[in-house]
Amino acid sequence: MAPEGDRVALFAKTFTAADGILLRGPVESALSDLGEVLRAEGVTALFFPEDDATAREIAEALVPFGPFNLTTGAEIRGGSAAVTAGFRTAEAAIAETGTIVETSGSGKTLLPGLIADVHVSIVAAASVVARMEEALSAFTADSPRNISFLSGPSRTGDIEQTLTVGAHGPKKAIALLLD
């Protein structure tokens, strides 16, 4: 197993190579930068899963850096006109591919990574693994129904071979990497 520092450095390199935005913490020092990125994207509404205390804490702390309002996933699903940022704590990140792993384990929702205009994944540096096999081995005892692999913003090139960003998910992907 590679040392944590090497895994984190490789994850940072591969995630940003896929057009992801990487911000490093402690969270107190990253809030200003995160607020600036969200404002630049026109974000006005922040949401998070009700049972994700870390995502809630970060979204609530960002409100003064806005103008941001807190909302719910249900309100966003109902057809909000606001530009949204969805926050969620990731289960793992894969250094080799720059991929963030989020699951539906323990009833967690994947909505922030699916319906938000900007997705903010909260990644603990200790959860960065070297390879996909390591990330998946954590789920062998209690497999979640759904696993979402996020490698930068959503992209498709199937319409006349023209690259479209954000067609099937977030237009921006941000990893908030916390030490």
**Residue at 52 is within a domain:** yes
pLDDT digits (tens, 9 = 90+) for 139-158: 888 889 999 999 876 556 66
pLDDT for position 142? 82
pLDDT for position 163? 57
Question: Does residue 16 have a pLDDT over 60?
Answer: yes
**Residue at 159 is within a domain:** no
**Residue at 160 is within a domain:** no
- The answer to whether the predicted template modeling score (pTM) of the entire model surpasses 0.75 is yes
Q: How far apart are CA 150 and CA 122, in angstroms?
A: 12
Q: Return the minimum-mean-pLDDT range out of 34-38, 59-63, 107-111, 131-135.
A: 107-111
Q: How far apart are CA 54 and CA 122, in angstroms?
A: 8
Radius of gyration in angstroms for the set of CA atoms belonging to the chain, rounded to a whole number: 16
Burial class (CB in 10 A: 0-12, 13-18, 19+), 59: buried
Q: How far apart are CA 29 and CA 130, in angstroms?
A: 26
- The DSSP output letter for 101 is E
**Residue at 85 is within a domain:** yes
pLDDT digits (tens, 9 = 90+) for 52-96: 999 999 999 999 998 999 999 888 888 877 899 999 999 999 999
Query: What's the total number of domains in the chain?
Result: 1
The domain that contains 46 carries what CATH number? 3.40.50.10420
Domain that holds residue 105: 4-154+165-178
Q: How far apart are CA 35 and CA 65, in angstroms?
A: 5
144-172 burial by CB neighbour count: b if 16+ within 10 A, else e? Answer: beebbebbbbbbeeeeeeeeeeeeebbbb
Q: How far apart are CA 53 and CA 140, in angstroms?
A: 25
Q: How far apart are CA 157 and CA 137, in angstroms?
A: 32
Q: How far apart are CA 99 and CA 72, in angstroms?
A: 26
Q: How far apart are CA 15 and CA 109, in angstroms?
A: 23
SS3 174: strand
**Residue at 12 is within a domain:** yes
